[in-house]
A and B are shown apart, each in its own frame.
Chain A
Amino acid sequence: MAGTALPVLPKPAPRWPLLNGLWGVAVPLGLTALDWPVRALLTPGNILLFYLLGVFFVAIRFGLWPSIIGSLTSVAAFAFFFAPPIFSFAIADPENLVGVSVMLVVGIVTSKLAETLRSQTQVAEHRERRASALYRLSKALAEARLGTEVIAIGVQHIQAEFGGRNTLLLPGPDGKLCYPDAPALAMSWRGADLGLAQWVFGHVRLAGRGTDNNADSPAVYVPLQGGGGMLGVLVLELADVRLLHVPEQRQFLDTFVGQIAHSLERAQLAEHAKLATLKMQEETLRNSLLSSISHDLRTPLATIIGAASTLETDGQLAEASRRNLAAAISEEALRMSELMVKILDMARLEAGEVVLNRQWYAPEEIVGSALRRLDKKLHARQVNVNMVDGLALVQVDAVLLQQVLVNLLDNAAKYSPAGRPIDIAVETQAQGLTISVADNGPGIAPALQDKVFEKFFRLHPERAQGGVGLGLSICRAIVGAHGGDIHVSNRRGGGAMFQIHLPLLSAPPTITPEEKGLPL
């Protein structure tokens, strides 16, 4: 076959090659049978033209060798049946001899032409197939935004085009190649030799099956090169080594891989850019956080250091003064500790370090443990708890939800006059859990009701006992992590009411009733 065009992988195996050869015999014999009854009406030239027609047909339909067999069979049949003497292969008439020779030459030449046409059609078909494969690939890749999506699409398309399981190895944080994080697809291959892949990555050369490096490996290792350097290595399980040795195929593979590499690079650059933006925002936030908290931390520290150094150096202090100083240290340190806890909580929530530990809890229990944590602060205060279905289980992170309630109750105690009651209402319904914490203080101006949830926002920045302005931001972050929402409004009679709504994701589990044979 012509070296410029074929073979193509997977090679379309000629079906029944012997049968194709038989057509070369059968068609001239058929024509002979057709011509025989009407031989008196036809000149030898006409008959030869009929045979030539048959040879054309065989050439176009079945290829070169059947048509050459056809030409030879036609010549033999003509000599035997039509050229005198009949029933002998001898040809007496020189005119017929010339006719036969010309037909033979014309037959073979046209066979050759038809064959070229055939193979060109095939080449065009394969080119078309590759072009559309590349088109499909680039279309799919154009929609991919993330590196992981590019990898998944690449692996699927490589499998579809080259018929082997494969994987794309990318360098991990330590620079060593590793499998992608995403779960393996059906066509993913997990049997790669990571050492060999690393070599390919370092040397930017092909290795594995069909190459001179580790040729006995079941897979070929192809470097994935982007514009800015090496991106990774494609490991492709290779059924047929010809993929690498036929120039057209190799070029196709290179183009295919190149396109994946470029999309991957684009996705990675986009991800990097996004990270950089996020980092910048974080930096800004960190700066504002630093300036905000440095003041809050310095004030108590000044007291602590001052009091401690007086205690340390002044031996003449009266017992009462010593106690006062010690009390001041303890009080301010406690305040600092509370601030630190809030700052760290917020940082943890913001950093996404907090993974919800959702379990089934009764809201009554969470409210109870929050109230107990604030026992000392709420000491002299009336707290009314109105609970509807407080034992119906909800799936929440109890530690975090308790923190929300503690922050809200703490605020209520801080910002409403001592002695005024705090009201808690809890209601569990099919669509969700609603908890409200309401005080009898001055309330919050409507214009500020959204702002109070912002980080570092304080209603009374001048007040010393105010916090750092993170309590409600922490509440919002925790409620948000539960998929719920929190908002504040003013009660009709005065006072602020914070309301949390958490959606219930699934129906609570049931338990085997005690009578039915549980261990006692």
Chain B
Amino acid sequence: MTEQTPLLLLIEDDPPFRSLLATTLEGQGYRVLATDTGREGLLAVRNRSPALLLLDLGLPDMDGQDVICRLRKSSELPVIVLSARHQESDVTQALDNGADDYLTKPFSNAELMARINALLRRVAKLPGGVQEVFQVGGLKVELTKRRVFTDGCEVHLTPLEFSLLSVLVRHAGFVVTHRHLLEKVWGASYVEHSHYLRIYMGQLRHKLEADPARPRYLLTEAGIGYRLFTDDTP
């Protein structure tokens, strides 16, 4: 065991799926600690200090949301939740409770690796904070100078449009829930006014996307939120 191979904690109650994930992740060079209950998982977080948690939302002993809430009281451990289909509201709640990303079953190996790697990379970068300049494809955002370019041309954004874009940039590659965006950009009293978000997101797409109906950068996660495309995005 070396310091370089991060330990991944997996909380999943279905034995075949658990063993498949463990085998796959070990095959990719990670160390894996697999448990089948939330209680054991939380214990392992304290004792083994893993680098990342993969959490199934439907657990036998306690609600996955509970696991996230308890975890967030004492730890910043990155969390990816694994959900079944038609659980958009559960996923949204998990993200609002502090989970970092999600995957919907069934997912491919590539998707899983992309999410894990992106999250680990973000954590590694964190001490330095968010980079001043964000760039993907032809889109470039300078956060402190408040300037935005597409294919080298500067684009004028209104203060709110820029504010919305900068929240996404700070979470680039990760899904950001509607609630989170409304709260950060418009304030806590606007969290139910999702139409503000839709209108501004539409405006932003028309300014930044070559084809707003087939966006490349500002991606919609239906029923959950938005994700700013990065080169890691599967």
- Residues of chain A whose beta carbon lies under 8 Å from any beta carbon of chain B: 333, 337, 341, 344, 348, 357, 359-362, 364-369, 371-372, 383, 385, 387, 390-391, 393, 398-399, 402, 424, 508-509, 511, 514, 518-520
Flag if A518 contacts B202 (CB, 8 Å): no
Q: Tell me the smallest distance from the CB of B144 to a CB of chain A, in Å.
A: 15
A362 to B200, CA, bound (A): 10
Q: Tell me the smallest distance from the CB of B216 to a CB of chain A, in Å.
A: 9
A333 to B195, CA, bound (A): 39
Residues of A contacting B86 in the complex (Cβ-Cβ under 8 angstroms): 344, 348
Flag if B223 contacts A398 (CB, 8 Å): yes
**Which of chain B's residues 178-216 have a Cβ closer than 8 Å to chain A?**
186-187, 193-196, 198-199, 201-203, 205-206, 211-215
Give B146-184 as 1s and 0s: 1 = Cβ < 8 Å from A's Cβ atoms.
Answer: 000000000000111001000000000000000000000
Flag if A514 contacts B186 (CB, 8 Å): no
Residues of A contacting B206 in the complex (Cβ-Cβ under 8 angstroms): 391
Known contacts A365-B202, A371-B213, A371-B214; can you find 9 more A-B pairs with CB under 8 A? A344-B85, A365-B198, A366-B222, A369-B221, A385-B214, A399-B223, A508-B195, A509-B195, A519-B186
Q: Tell me the smallest distance from the CB of B186 to a CB of chain A, in Å.
A: 7
Q: A337, A344, A362, A399: which contacts B198 (Cβ < 8 A)? A: A362
The main secondary structure of chain A at its interface with chain B is: mixed
Flag if B195 contacts A364 (CB, 8 Å): no
Residues of A contacting B159 in the complex (Cβ-Cβ under 8 angstroms): 514, 520
A341 to B106, CA, bound (A): 11
Flag if B212 contacts A368 (CB, 8 Å): yes
Q: Tell me the smallest distance from the CB of A22 to a CB of chain B, in Å.
A: 73
25 contacts across the A-B interface (CB closer than 8 A): A341-B85, A357-B223, A362-B199, A362-B201, A364-B202, A367-B213, A368-B220, A369-B220, A372-B215, A372-B220, A383-B214, A385-B211, A391-B199, A391-B203, A391-B206, A393-B195, A399-B88, A399-B223, A424-B213, A511-B199, A514-B159, A519-B186, A519-B187, A520-B160, A520-B163
* Chain B CB within 10 A, most for which of A341, A344, A362, A367: A362
Q: Identify the closest chain A residue to B105 (Cβ).
A: A337
Q: Identify the closest chain B residue to A401 (Cβ).
A: B222
Flag if A518 contacts B222 (CB, 8 Å): no
Flag if B213 contacts A387 (CB, 8 Å): yes
Flag if B85 contacts A518 (CB, 8 Å): no
A390 to B201, CA, bound (A): 12
Chain B, interface residues (CB within 8 Å), range? 20 to 34
With A390-B213, A518-B186 as contacts: A402 and B222 at CB distance below 8 Å: yes
Q: B106, B160, B187: which contacts A514 (Cβ < 8 A)? A: B160
Flag if B213 contacts A385 (CB, 8 Å): yes
- Residues of chain B whose beta carbon lies under 8 Å from any beta carbon of chain A: 85-86, 88-89, 106, 158-160, 163, 186-187, 193-196, 198-199, 201-203, 205-206, 211-215, 219-223
A361 to B202, CA, bound (A): 10
Q: Identify the closest chain B residue to A348 (Cβ).
A: B86
A360 to B201, CA, bound (A): 13
Flag if A368 contacts B198 (CB, 8 Å): no
A360 to B163, CA, bound (A): 21
Flag if A372 contacts B213 (CB, 8 Å): no
Flag if B186 contacts A372 (CB, 8 Å): no
Residues of B contacting A344 in the complex (Cβ-Cβ under 8 angstroms): 85-86
Flag if A365 contacts B106 (CB, 8 Å): no
With A337-B106, A365-B202, A368-B212 as contacts: A398 and B158 at CB distance below 8 Å: no
A398 to B85, CA, bound (A): 15
Flag if A391 contacts B202 (CB, 8 Å): yes
Q: Tell me the smallest distance from the CB of B184 to a CB of chain A, in Å.
A: 10
Q: Identify the closest chain A residue to B224 (Cβ).
A: A399
Residues of B contacting A357 in the complex (Cβ-Cβ under 8 angstroms): 89, 223
Flag if B160 contacts A372 (CB, 8 Å): no
Q: Tell me the smallest distance from the CB of A91 to a CB of chain B, in Å.
A: 98
Q: Identify the closest chain B residue to A398 (Cβ).
A: B222
Q: Identify the closest chain B residue to A424 (Cβ).
A: B213
